[in-house]
């Protein structure tokens, strides 16, 4: 019968003949039918059940039917009354509509006005509906009223190795189609940030990679990245289109980092049992550096930099998780062998992990200056900014990721020909996303380069004296009063030139310093005669002008004290002389015996 009804609804005219009014959305409310050019509500009767409601929901592009109800009005009003017997006899719907008056009217709720609470994704949880506009509360739906078919997912990944990787398909208007990740103006592609919405909805962890793949031209759903960002229900964003490139993505599936500052940091959670899609924290005692390497790789991040308990909160108490025994080379954590389950883990011991961001600066003679490159989809590419990425603020993100301080200058280079780059928009970066999460594929002959403040290595400082020096670093070095000593500053070769400043602080005298140009990346400050006034703390500060800016870098502090040479004379002069005498006398007698 519902097929007949559908047919009749469609045959009526090209303009809409049914609608839902006075509801929270266009997909819930009182059902109205247009007949004889007049919209009227419908009399509630036996015709209206979930099956007939489903036809209306489909017609309205509102997903599936969730509930059918009736509303009792205080007084009767003009309605269209449709007799079930008439429809079942095969007559056209309009031939079955009769003008009448009633105070019981049909209300419908389609799946676009439902929500799921307490579940792990969009497609599980307690179903609640809101069908009555005058009542702002949501009510649970009785299982008996709810056909399993109505709980079909709208969001899936096809052709990948698991349900968490592959070509994205979306079900809209009852039809699964691949997705064209488009944004006409300005032209934008899906980023990891966009893909992350899909991974979350599928309960598939975080986004690892997203790209456009070419396929034979076909009907697709065009879904713009901007829409996904503001409206996580992909159906709301879908527009019928015809295209030859479609979105393909990979989610991390069984592993994620939560409550961190990017996809590459946070408290580790794993989903170890596919039939139980809930996430659990991991006990610190069950996890080591090799395991961390595997997780960082699985998430598409750089190498692990910090592995520490409780850095990003505790979450659910880690319970019954496995002890992972990774070799470090595995591509996924669940590929690692694991020891038997433990049931206890002391609180405050959930693993937190920080992987480095896959960002680097190359061709700048320092890891803190050069052409900016980002690794995305397993590929290092230079970066070019869509718009005002070339500001210090946004470029500063890269310096911070590299632990290089702040950005000092941002510039660009022009290459002779176009090459593959990652295009990054500043609004994405400024919303707090990591560079990798904002990367879109593109071509450019411009390349972003930048200079960060912590460009220089730390210089070395050391002291030497012709009579030697003594003392461990903590207590400071001792030189002998009246002796000559030298403080040497040196720095690992990086850029030519520069100068060293020897910075001196003592208890009795004010700050003092001496300067020498750097020769072969070092400088030697000679003190002809050690005096008590030389006692104090020394540090080497290296100064360099490069990339149109002044940079400096300071060594650790070295403390020097001048001691009385008394005991030294015995040790360094008398003792060797005595030894020499003994040896000489011994030799004399030895030779004489011969």
Ligand X SMILES: *[C@@H]1O[C@H](CO)[C@@H](O)[C@H](O)[C@H]1NC(C)=O
Q: Which residues bind ligand X (CB under 6 A)?
A: 258-259, 273, 275-276, 364, 369-370, 411, 413, 449-451, 460, 490-492, 501, 503, 505, 511, 519-520, 541, 547, 554
Q: Least distance to ligand X from the beta carbon of 334, Å?
A: 12
Nearer to ligand X, 61 or 259 (CB): 259
Alpha carbons 449 and 454: distance in angstroms, whole number: 15
* 3-state secondary structure (DSSP) of residue 519: strand
Of 172 and 501, the one with the shorter C-beta distance to ligand X is: 501
430/395 Cα distance (integer angstroms): 10
- Least CB distance to ligand X at residue 522 (A): 7
Specify the residue, 126 or 571, whose C-beta has the smaller distance to ligand X: 126
* Position closest to ligand X via CB: 276
Residue 103 Cβ, how far from ligand X at the closest point, in Å?
46
Q: How many CA atoms lie within 13 A of 21 on its CB side?
A: 12
CA 352/CA 418 separation, integer angstroms = 41
Rounded Cα–Cα distance for residues 341 and 510 (Å)? 64
User: Smaller CB distance to ligand X: residue 63 or 370?
Assistant: 370
Between strands 369-376 and 440-452, the pairing is antiparallel
Residues 6+ apart with CB under 8 A from 515: 499, 500, 501, 502
Region for 138 from its dihedrals, namely left if φ exceeds 0, alpha if ψ lies in -120 to 50, beta otherwise: beta
Rg (CA), the chain: 37
The region that residue 203 occupies, defined by phi over 0 for left and psi between -120 and 50 for alpha, beta otherwise, is left
State the minimum distance, in angstroms, from the CB of residue 395 to ligand X: 11
* Closest distance to ligand X from the beta carbon of 250 (Å): 19
Nearest distance, CB of residue 254 and ligand X, angstroms: 13
Residue whose structure tokens are 């702002």: 136
> Which residues, 6 or more positions from 103, have their beta carbon under 8 angstroms from its beta carbon?
72, 73, 74, 75, 76, 77
Query: Which of 370, 441 has the CB closer to ligand X?
Result: 370
Residue 131 CB, shortest distance to ligand X, in Å, is 29
CB of 238 to ligand X, least distance (A): 26
Give whichever of 496 and 576 is closer to ligand X, judged by the CB atom: 496
**Which residue lies nearer to ligand X by CB, 45 or 552?**
552
In terms of DSSP bridges, do strands 165-172 and 239-251 run parallel, antiparallel, or are they unpaired?
antiparallel
Contact 426, 384 (CB under 8 A): no
CA 238 to chain CA centroid, Å, is: 25
Report the nearest approach of ligand X to the CB of residue 168 (Å): 21
Cβ proximity to ligand X, 49 vs 431, nearer residue: 431
Q: Which is nearer to ligand X, 482 or 517 (by Cβ)?
A: 517
What percent of the chain is helix, strand and coil (3-state, nearest 5)? 20, 45, 35
Asked whether the beta carbons of 68 and 55 are under 8 A apart, the reply is no
């Amino acid at each position: 019968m519902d097929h007949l009804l559908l047919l009749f609804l469609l045959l009526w005219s090209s303009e809409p003949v049914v609608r839902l009014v006075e509801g929270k959305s266009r997909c819930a409310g009182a059902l109205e039918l247009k007949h004889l050019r007049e919209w009227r509500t419908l009399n509630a009767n036996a015709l209206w059940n979930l099956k007939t409601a489903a036809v209306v929901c489909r017609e309205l592009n509102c997903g599936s039917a969730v509930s059918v109800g009736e509303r009792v009005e205080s007084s009767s009003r003009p309605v269209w009354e449709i007799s079930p017997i008439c429809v079942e006899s095969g007559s056209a719907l309009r031939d079955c509509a009769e003008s009448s008056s009633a105070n019981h009217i049909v209300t419908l709720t389609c799946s676009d006005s439902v929500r799921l609470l307490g579940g792990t994704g969009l497609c599980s949880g307690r179903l609640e509906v809101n069908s009555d506009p005058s009542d702002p509360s949501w009510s649970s739906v009785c299982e008996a009223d709810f056909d399993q078919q109505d709980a079909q997912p709208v969001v899936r990944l096809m052709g990948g190795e698991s349900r968490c990787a592959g070509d994205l398909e979306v079900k809209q208007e009852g039809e699964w189609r691949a997705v064209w990740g488009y944004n006409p103006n300005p032209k934008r592609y899906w980023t990891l940030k966009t893909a992350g919405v899909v991974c979350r909805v599928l309960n598939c962890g975080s986004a690892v990679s997203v790209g456009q793949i070419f396929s034979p031209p076909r009907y697709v759903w065009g879904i713009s990245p901007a829409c996904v960002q503001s409206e996580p229900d992909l159906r709301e964003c879908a527009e019928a289109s015809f295209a030859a490139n479609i979105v393909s993505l990979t989610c991390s599936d069984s592993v994620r980092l939560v409550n961190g500052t990017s996809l590459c940091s946070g408290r580790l959670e794993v989903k170890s049992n596919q039939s139980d899609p809930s996430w659990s924290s991991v006990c610190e005692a069950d996890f080591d550096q090799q395991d961390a390497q595997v997780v960082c790789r699985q998430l598409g991040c750089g190498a692990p930099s910090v592995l520490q308990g409780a850095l990003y909160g505790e979450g659910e108490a880690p319970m019954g998780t496995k002890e992972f025994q990774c070799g470090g080379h595995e591509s996924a954590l669940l590929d690692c062998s694991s020891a038997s389950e433990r049931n206890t883990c002391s609180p405050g011991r959930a693993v937190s992990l920080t992987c480095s961001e896959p960002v680097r600066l190359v061709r700048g003679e320092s890891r803190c200056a050069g052409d900016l490159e980002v690794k995305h989809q397993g590929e290092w590419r230079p970066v070019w900014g869509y718009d005002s990425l070339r500001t210090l603020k946004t470029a500063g993100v890269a310096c911070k990721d590299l632990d290089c301080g702040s950005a000092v200058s941002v510039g660009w280079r022009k290459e002779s020909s176009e090459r593959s780059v990652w295009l990054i928009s500043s609004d994405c970066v400024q919303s707090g996303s990591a560079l990798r999460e904002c990367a879109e594929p593109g071509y450019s002959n411009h390349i972003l380069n930048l200079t960060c403040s912590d460009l220089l290595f730390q210089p070395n400082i050391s002291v030497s004296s012709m009579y030697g020096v003594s003392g461990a670093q903590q207590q400071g070095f001792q030189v002998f009063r009246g002796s000559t000593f030298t403080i040497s500053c040196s720095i690992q070769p990086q850029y030519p030139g520069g100068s060293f400043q020897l910075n001196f602080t003592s208890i009795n005298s004010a700050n003092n310093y001496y300067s020498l140009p750097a020769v072969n990346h070092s400088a030697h400050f000679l003190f002809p005669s050690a005096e008590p006034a030389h006692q104090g703390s020394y540090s080497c500060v290296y100064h360099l002008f490069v990339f149109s800016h002044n940079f400096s870098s300071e060594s650790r502090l070295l403390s020097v004290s001048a001691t009385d040479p008394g005991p030294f004379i015995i040790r360094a002069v008398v003792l060797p002389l005595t030894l020499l005498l003994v040896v000489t006398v011994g030799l004399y007698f030895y030779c004489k015996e011969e």
